[in-house]
Structure 1
Amino acid sequence: MKENTRHFKRIAFFLAILCFTKTAFAQIDVDRLRKHVYFLADDKMKGRGTGSKHVKKAARYIEKEFKRYGLAPKGKQGYRQPFQAKVRRVIVKDSIRIAENIIGFLDNGAPYTIVIGAHYDHLGEGRQGSSKDSLGVGKIHNGADDNASGVAGLLELARHYAQNDTQENYNLLFIAFGAEELGLVGSTYFTNNPTIPLTELHWMLNMDMIGRYNPDNGVAIIGYGTSSKFPDIFAGITSDIKFYTSRDGNGGSDQTSFYRKNIPVLFFHTGGHEDYHMPGDDPDKIDYPSLRSIVELERKIIDQSMHQDKMDFIWTN
């Protein structure tokens, strides 16, 4: 009898260790965030300009991570949703370029889905326009904050929800958008050609430039007014970083495409800085501990939203 008791205690001990290991492994990790940013914003990636071989390498990297986490492909060609993007700001020979959204799905068997997104393109070597450097043509714009930081957050949230050993009340759709810098082209294409019905979306979270936290200002969370449910979702949420909310759903990034389709949105953003759309937006300038805290805050908000019925939409302007 004593031997059986010892045996069951050993099993319980090892199960507890296994459970703890899975929980710890699913936590948002600074080193992984740093790894993603340094890969995407390395000089070898040449700024991930739309249509370039380097942005295609970034797409392969994201696709590989989605596969690693066991996300189901939810594009038109596996994980890929290809579309055409046009460079309008400057005259170049290849003004029409092929771009892609990379889309992975975590199916929890639920009727509704939360979208988590971030754009993975940037300005390349300044030839597609938008550089703030008057002599920027030919210089690599690495886009570590804009928006390797957001993609790193996207990948960590995908990993967390795929590996946290919990079946949530909502499905999760992870989208890395292409051609955002050319005018929200990828997110607009998705919302006009959705790979799941827009009526099945609970809400959308967007990350764009979340790597340069300024404690004097805090993190902006835009879109708080787009659903009456957000006050309840935010109730009791705390963080080791400062954040503030703004009502409007519009705001110069990919959440706007969803807002225009009557879908509640939140857009996380740490604000402008001297390296915005400049060659100096490099990986060593990212505040990685604060980036982790922002992604952890997003996780808390996502989790809270899963306790709500399908969210209503409010037009804020």
Structure 2
Amino acid sequence: MNYRFFALFLLLSTPLFAQEPSASRITRHIEKLASDQMKGRGTGSRENAKAAAYIARHFRKYGLKPLGEDGFYQPFMAKVRRVVVPDSLRKAANVIGFLDNGAEHTIVIGAHYDHLGLGDQGSSLDANPRGQIHNGADDNASGVAGLLELAQYYTKNSVKEPYNFLFMAFGAEELGLLGSRHFLNHPTLPLDRMNFMVCMDMIGRYNPERGIGIGGYGTADAWPTVFKDVTAGVKFFTDRAGNGGSDNAAFYAKKIPVLFFHTGGHPDYHKPGDDPEKIDAKAEEEILKLEIKLINNAMKLPKMTFTAVQ
């Protein structure tokens, strides 16, 4: 064997393989974001800011252009509606990175990075939530891991796509979609340049009997063409509705087509037991590969036309 040739082949081919979604990287992201040291990433907490910095650091590493109002950050104030502690106003931020392919229109990919902290901001379903770390491994460290993997994939694939990409990690979703609504009311990219939005919220607890649900199928006439003949390493099903679930609802309200990926509820939802060791990273890897197929199919088509779901 010509070992020099083999070594050269490995050197040249590694970036092609490295860009693919990876269960091991997914696991590392989730273990970081949903560790006990991050104390549940409650809005306004030091740990929530650390999570935002972790995302911004990766956006910078991938070569994304900052498209916030302060570098990668778009700061805003979030109000805790279900007040459990006196501080009802808290600092929050969206983290926004732009992949500029010189195209007229842009695909938005988003996930929220906040969770319930120490059970003191409301929404916990635990009987005695206060003081307990709500790690939020599935909700929504799994979605952020997916966001980072897709950002890496599209920045490292050496292909100039026919659409730009806007990667966004939303703050304060658990307080009522506050981050996505703030962005849409104060956009750093014109809304009419957005083709569609992909939202990932809770994609880490795959149930092979249920499959991965994909909402928003009815929000554009083009979605059936995008999905035609698509196969995946996981079972999936579609739902027409686009106005529920997570930050996708805010984009739907602005008449932007959406897809919403969700592996379904479980007994640890909004409880302290939503921990990293319960994540199925291999299944999430397959979900992200499915998303890439759908996004790539969508990029073969003109800008989508929004349709309201009756």
Check whether the contact 1:226–1:264 (CA below 8 A) recurs between aligned residues.
yes
Distance 1:262 1:15 in 2: 49
> Does the alignment pair 1:263 with 2:256?
yes
Deviation string, structure 1 residues 246-286 (Cα, Å, up to 9, x no partner): 00111130000000000000000000000000000000000
Check whether the contact 1:84–1:98 (CA below 8 A) recurs between aligned residues.
yes
Partner of 1:6: none
> Does the alignment pair 1:47 with 2:55?
no
Q: How does 1:110-149 map to 2 (within 5 A)?
A: 110-149=103-142
Distance 1:239 1:311 in 2: 23
Gaps of 5+ in 2: none
Partner of 2:156: 163
Distance 1:12 1:284 in 2: 41
**Of 5, 14, 20, the match for 2:13:** 20
Q: How does 1:236-315 map to 2 (within 5 A)?
A: 236-315=229-308
Amino acid at match of 1:267: F
**Greater C-alpha radius of gyration:** 1
Check whether the contact 2:195–2:304 (CA below 8 A) recurs between aligned residues.
yes
Distance 1:79 1:204 in 2: 19
Amino acid at match of 1:185: L
> Does the alignment pair 1:77 with 2:92?
no
Distance 2:36 2:240 in 1: 37
Partner of 1:4: none
**Of 77, 82, 85, the match for 1:89:** 82
Distance 1:144 1:134 in 2: 20
Check whether the contact 2:84–2:122 (CA below 8 A) recurs between aligned residues.
no
**Of 188, 192, 206, the match for 1:195:** 188
Kindly state the Cα deviation for residue 210 of structure 1 after the two structures are TM-superposed.
Answer: 0.3
Distance 2:225 2:144 in 1: 27
Give me the identity figure in percent. Answer: 57
Find the residue that maps to 2:195 and give its secondary structure.
strand
> Does the alignment pair 1:174 with 2:177?
no
Q: Which runs of 4+ in 1 moved over 3 A?
A: 10-19
Distance 2:10 2:235 in 1: 34
Amino acid at match of 2:182: Y
Q: Count how many residue pairs are aligned between Structure 1 and Structure 2.
A: 309
Check whether the contact 1:74–1:104 (CA below 8 A) recurs between aligned residues.
yes
Over the residues paired in the alignment, what is the CA RMSD in angstroms? 1.6
Gaps of 5+ in 1: 1-9
Check whether the contact 1:115–1:203 (CA below 8 A) recurs between aligned residues.
yes
Kindly state the Cα deviation for residue 107 of structure 1 after the two structures are TM-superposed.
Answer: 0.5
Amino acid at match of 1:224: Y
Deviation string, structure 1 residues 218-252 (Cα, Å, up to 9, x no partner): 00000000000001111121101100000011113
Q: 13-22 vs 197-206, which deviates more?
A: 13-22
Check whether the contact 1:22–1:165 (CA below 8 A) recurs between aligned residues.
no
Kindly state the Cα deviation for residue 13 of structure 1 after the two structures are TM-superposed.
Answer: 8.1
Distance 2:163 2:224 in 1: 19
Distance 1:272 1:19 in 2: 42
For normalisation by structure 2, the TM-score amounts to 0.97
Q: How does 1:20-39 map to 2 (within 5 A)?
A: 20-39=13-32
> Does the alignment pair 1:98 with 2:91?
yes
Deviation string, structure 1 residues 291-310 (Cα, Å, up to 9, x no partner): 11111111111111110100
Distance 1:12 1:187 in 2: 50
Inter-CA distance 15–264: structure 2 relative to 1 (3 Å threshold): farther
Amino acid at match of 1:97: R
Kindly state the Cα deviation for residue 21 of structure 1 after the two structures are TM-superposed.
Answer: 1.8
Amino acid at match of 2:147: L
Find the residue that maps to 2:292 and give its secondary structure.
helix
Deviation string, structure 1 residues 165-195 (Cα, Å, up to 9, x no partner): 1110100000000000000000000111111
